[in-house]
A and B are shown apart, each in its own frame.
Chain A
Amino acid sequence: MIETALTDLWYGFGVALEPHNVMWCFIGVLIGNMVGVLPGMGPLATISILLPLTFGIKPVGAILMLAGVFYGAQYGGAICSILLNLPCHPPHAVTCLDGFPLTKQGRGGAALGVTVIGSFIGASWGITEMIFLSPILVKVALEFGPTEICSLMLLGLLAGSTLARGSPLKGVAMTLVGLLIGIIGSDIDTGSPRFTFGIPNLYDGVEIVALALGLFGIAEFMKSVNQINVVETRYTKVRFADLKPTREELRRSWPAMFRGTLIGSLCSLIPGTGPTIASFIAYATEKKISKTPEKFGTGMIEGVASPEASTHSSVQGDFIPTMSLGIPGDAVMALILGALLIQGIIPGPQLIREHPDIFWGLVASFWIGNIMLVLLNVPMIGIWVKLLAIPYKYLYPSALFFACIGVYSANNDMFQVGETVVIGLAGYILLLLDFHPAPILLGFVLGPRFEENFRRAMLISRGDILVFLKHPISLAFISIAVLLIVMQIYLRLRQPKIIADERALDAAIDKTAPAEP
C-alpha cells in the first residue's frame, strides 16, 4: 500500500512540477499571500475574487492555483494577526494573544519565523495523512449506493452547519437556504424551470461566483465600511534578519509545534471541527501543560507555534473529505469544489481514479506551494509589512471592482453582476440578523447532488423513507448525525469553558477589533 502511495505521489510531483503548473501554483501563492495580508480581506473573499480568473486555465492548473491562493491567504492572515493584532481570519485569532505581545517586545519577526516553520510542519503532516487516508476512504466510498451517499451528505451538511461559527440552529437554517438556492434553475429530471421567477437568465441556476462574491464580497464590505480603523504600524518594522528565532525560542517551539500538529490532525478527523476549534484547543493545551501558564498572553512563543501548526495540519486534513468523497467541510472547500464543477469535473470517490493528475498533482503541489511560501516570505516580508498599511478606504472600492468584473467575466453576462448585488444586500441583512452566511455555500454546492441521490435512493427503495435506517452504513452515518445534534444540545446546556471562550472571542472578531497598541 505504501509503495502504491509513493508511486502515485511521484507521479503527482511529475504533474505539479510541469512548468506551467509550477507557474500557476506560484501565482496563486503569491496573490493569495498578498491579498491575505491586506486587513479586512480573509481567504474566503480572496478566493471568491480570484475564482473567475481560473476559468480560462486547464483544470489542473486552476485547482493548483486556487489551493495556492487558499494557503497563501491563510499565511497572510497570520502575519496580520501577529503584527497588527487584527484577527482578520478566525483560525488566527488565537495567535494574536501571544503573537502581538511578542511584536511589542520587538520579537514579532521571530514569531513570524516560528509560524513559517510551524505551519510547514503542520501542513506536511496533513499532506501525509491525505496521501494515506484518501485511497482507503475512496475504496470504501466506491461501494456506496445513493442511500449511503445521501446519508453521508446529510452528515456533512449538518456538521458543516452546526459546528460553524454562531448558533447551530441558524447554521442549519443557512444550509437549508443554500440548498434552496441550489434548486433555482432547471430540474435535473424533467428539465422544467424551478423558482426562476420567470427570468430566463436564471434557467442555468445561480452562478457560484455571484453567490460567493455577494456573500463574502459585497456583504462583508457593507459590514466593514468605516469600521476598520487606520492600522497601527508602529511595531511592524520587520526585516529579513529578524525572522530568525533565537536558539532558546526554537527549543521551546519544537515540542509545541508537534503537539499542535497532532491536535490539528485529530480535529480534522472529526467531521466539521475546523481549523478554528483546532487552534483554540491547541492554545488551551499549551497553557495547561506549561510550567508558567500565567505568562500566556504576555508573549509566549509556544502560544504562537502550537495554534499555527494545528491550524495548518487541520486545514490540510479538510481537503481529505473534499477531494476523496466530494463532501466539503467548510465554505472554502465548497468553493474549491465549485471550481472543479465549473471545469466539468464531478467531485466524488471516482475523482482519484478518473483524474489522478488533479488529485496527486494537488497533493504534490501542497508541498511545493508550502516551500514557495517559506521562500517567498523570507525575502519579501518587508513588502508584506508595507501592504499592511494600505487603508481600507482604498481597498474595498478596488476589491468591489474586481468582484464586478470577475462575475461579468465568468459568462460575459451583466445580469450576473446584478445577481451579486441582490445577493450581497440579502447577505448583509442576514449578517445583521446574526446569521453566518458560510453554510449557504456548502448547501448550494452539495444541493443538486444531494437531491439527485435522494431521488435515486427513493426510486430504488420504492418510496420507503426508512431505507436510510435499514442499510447498515447509512444507519451509521445517521447515528453520527443524531449524536452530533445531541452533543450540540448538551454543549448549549452545559457551556464548557472552551466553548464560552470561543464565543467570547468570536464576538470580538465580529466587531472587527481595531488595532490597539
Chain B
Amino acid sequence: MFAEQLKKRDFYAGGLILLIGAAVALNAYNYYNLGTLTQMGPGMFPFMLGIALTFVGLLILGTAVATAHDPSETILPEQREWRGWACILAGPVLFIILGQYLGMAAATFGCVFVSALGDRTATVKSSAILAVIVTFFGCLLFAFVLKLAFPIFKWGY
C-alpha cells in the first residue's frame, strides 16, 4: 500500500513543496521578527508564504494519494542521461573555476568542451573543434566588441 505511494511522481512533488513550505514557515517563525499585522516585521511575509506553500503541498500530496497509480509513470525519464546531465552541470562549474584563475579563453574552452561531451554522439575531437570555434568568436565578441571586464588570459586569482 505505502510502497505504491512511493512510485507516484506527485507524491514526491507534494512532499517537496510541503517540506519547503514547512521549513520556511518554521525558519521565519524562529529566526525572524514576525511583528504584528499592523507593523509587520521581516518574518511575517515569508511566514505567511510558508504556511500557504505547506497547504498547497498538502493538497498536491492528497491528490496523489487519492488517485490510482498509473504503472507507466516514472519519475526519472526513460532514458537516463547521467552523462549528459553531469556534463551540462560541469560546464558552467568549469567556467567559474577556469574563469577565476585563467581568464575568459580557458573558461570558454572548458565550458563548451565539457558540456559538448554530454551528447552521446560527441567525440573528444568534435567537442574540441566546437570549443575552439566558440572560444574564438566568443572572445572576439565579448572582449573586443562588448568590452567586458574579463581578461582573456590571466594567471592566478
Q: In whole Å, how far is B95's beta carbon from the nearest beta carbon of chain A? A: 4
Q: Which residue of B lies closest to A455 (CB)?
A: B40
Query: Do B92 and A421 have beta carbons less than 8 Å apart?
Result: yes
Q: Are A409 and B148 in contact (CB under 8 A)?
A: yes
Q: Select the residue from A189, A192, A398, A451 with max chain B CB neighbours within 10 A.
A: A398
A–B complex contacts, Cβ < 8 Å, 22 sampled = A176-B21, A177-B17, A177-B20, A177-B53, A180-B50, A222-B88, A226-B79, A393-B121, A393-B122, A397-B112, A400-B92, A401-B95, A401-B108, A404-B111, A405-B148, A409-B148, A412-B150, A414-B99, A433-B9, A434-B13, A458-B37, A458-B38
A398 touching B134 by the CB < 8 A rule? yes
Which residues of A62-83 have CB atoms within 8 Å of chain B's CB atoms?
none
Whole-angstrom distance between the Cβ of A174 and the nearest chain B Cβ: 9
Q: Does residue B22 face the partner (Cβ distance < 8 Å to A)?
A: no
Contact, CB under 8 Å: B76 / A397: no
Say if the beta carbon of B29 comes within 8 Å of chain A: no
Q: Can you list, as one digit per residue, whether each of A425-450 has a CB less than 8 Å from chain B (1) or not (0)?
A: 10010001111000000000000000
Kindly provide the distance from the CB of B89 to the nearest chain A CB, expressed in whole angstroms: 6
Contact of B63 among A169, A392, A400, A412 (CB under 8 A): A169
A222 and B84 contact, CB distance less than 8 A = yes
User: When the two chains form their complex, are residues A169 and B60 in contact, meaning their CB atoms are under 8 A apart?
Assistant: yes
Cβ A170 vs Cβ B46 within 8 A = no
CB of A403 closer than 8 Å to a CB of B: yes
Give how many B residues have a beta carbon under 8 Å from the other chain's beta carbons: 69
Task: Please determine whether A226 and B91 come into contact, CB atoms closer than 8 angstroms.
Answer: no
- Is A502 interfacial (CB-CB < 8 Å)? no
Q: How far is the CB of A277 from chain B (nearest CB, A)?
A: 23
Known: A183-B45, A225-B81, A392-B119. 12 other contacts (CB 8 A): A169-B63, A179-B49, A192-B42, A218-B88, A222-B84, A225-B118, A226-B84, A405-B142, A409-B142, A433-B9, A434-B13, A454-B45
- Name the B residues within 8 Å of A394 (CB-CB): 116, 130
Say whether B79 contacts A404, CB under 8 Å. Answer: no
User: Is B68 interfacial (CB 8 A cutoff)?
Assistant: no
> Which residues in window 107-124 of B have CB below 8 A to A?
107-108, 111-113, 115-116, 118-122
Q: How many residues of A contact B (CB 8 A)?
A: 60
Q: Is the CB of A225 within 8 A of B119?
A: yes
| CB <8 Å contact, A222 and B115 | no
Tell me, in angstroms, the Cα distance from A478 to B57 when the chains sit together. Answer: 23
The chain A residue sitting closest to B63, CB to CB, is A169
For B50, give the chain A residue with the smallest CB separation: A180
The distance from the CB of A41 to the nearest CB of chain B, in whole angstroms, is 15
Taking CB atoms, residues of chain A closer than 8 Å to B50 are 180
Q: Please measure, in the bound complex, the distance between the C-alpha atom of A397 and the C-alpha atom of B126, giving whole angstroms.
A: 12
Asked whether any CB of chain B lies closer than 8 Å to the CB of A132, the reply is no
Question: With A222-B84, A463-B36 in contact, do A194 and B138 touch (Cβ < 8 Å)?
Answer: no
Of B60, B92, B96, B112, the contact of A173 (CB 8 Å cutoff): B60
Contact with B along A381-411 (1 / 0, CB 8 A): 0000000000011101110111111001100
B32 beta carbon closer than 8 Å to chain A: yes
Query: When the two chains form the complex, which single residue of A179, A400, A459, A464 contacts B115, counting CB atoms closer than 8 Å?
Result: A400
A393 in complex: contacting residue of B12, B49, B116, CB < 8 Å: B116
- Residues in B1-28 with C-beta less than 8 Å from chain A: 9-10, 12-13, 16-17, 20-21, 24, 27
A222 x B53 contact (CB < 8 A) = no
Contact present for B111 and A400 (CB under 8 Å): yes
Q: Which of A226, A424, A428 has the most CB of B within 10 A?
A: A226
**Total contacts A-B at CB 8 Å:** 180
Are the CB atoms of A463 and B45 closer together than 8 Å? no
Q: Are B32 and A194 in contact (CB under 8 A)?
A: yes
CA distance A459 to B44 in the complex (A): 13
- Check B99–A408 contact: CB distance below 8 A: yes
Give chain B residues whose Cβ lies under 8 Å from the Cβ of A428. Answer: 85
User: Would you give the 0/1 interface string for B72-114, flagging 1 where the beta carbon is closer than 8 Å to chain A?
Assistant: 0001110101001100110111011001100010011001110
CB distance from B155 to the nearest CB of A (A): 17
A131 sits at the interface (CB 8 A): no
Q: Does B59 contact A (CB under 8 A)?
A: yes
Instruction: Please report the C-alpha to C-alpha distance between residue A459 and residue B10 in the assembled complex, in whole angstroms.
Output: 39
Query: A401-B134, A459-B39 in contact; A393/B119 too (CB < 8 A)?
Result: yes
A190, B41: Cβ atoms under 8 Å? yes
In the complex formed, the residue of A with least CB distance to B15 is A433
Task: Tell me if B56 is interfacial: C-beta within 8 Å of chain A.
Answer: yes
Map CB proximity to B onto A128-165 as digits: 1 under 8 Å, 0 otherwise. Answer: 00000000000000000000000000000000000000
> CB-CB < 8 A to B127: which residues of A?
397
Distance in angstroms from B10 CB to nearest chain A CB is 7
Contacts of B100 in A (CB 8 A): 414
5 closest Cβ pairs, A-B complex: A463-B37, A463-B38, A225-B84, A393-B119, A187-B42
CA distance A192 to B149 in the complex (A): 31
Cβ–Cβ < 8 Å partners of A218 in chain B: 88-89, 92
Please, how many angstroms separate the alpha-carbon atoms of A405 and B109 in the complex?
12
Which B residues are CB-close (under 8 A) to A451?
45
- The answer to whether B134 and A397 have CB atoms under 8 Å apart is yes
The answer to whether residues A225 and B45 also contact, given A393-B121, A398-B134, A409-B142 and a CB cut-off of 8 A, is no
A400/B60 in contact, CB under 8 A: no
Whether the Cβ atoms of B91 and A225 lie closer than 8 Å is no
B152 neighbours in A (Cβ, 8 Å): none
Is the CB–CB distance between B85 and A222 below 8 Å?
Answer: yes
Chain A residues 167 to 189 lying within 8 A of chain B, measured CB to CB, are: 167, 169-170, 172-173, 176-177, 179-180, 183, 187, 189
Assembly CA distance A398 to B138 (angstroms): 9
A64 to chain B, nearest CB (A): 18
Report the nearest B residue to A443, measured CB to CB: B49
Q: How far is the CA of A404 from the CA of B50 in the complex (A)?
A: 32
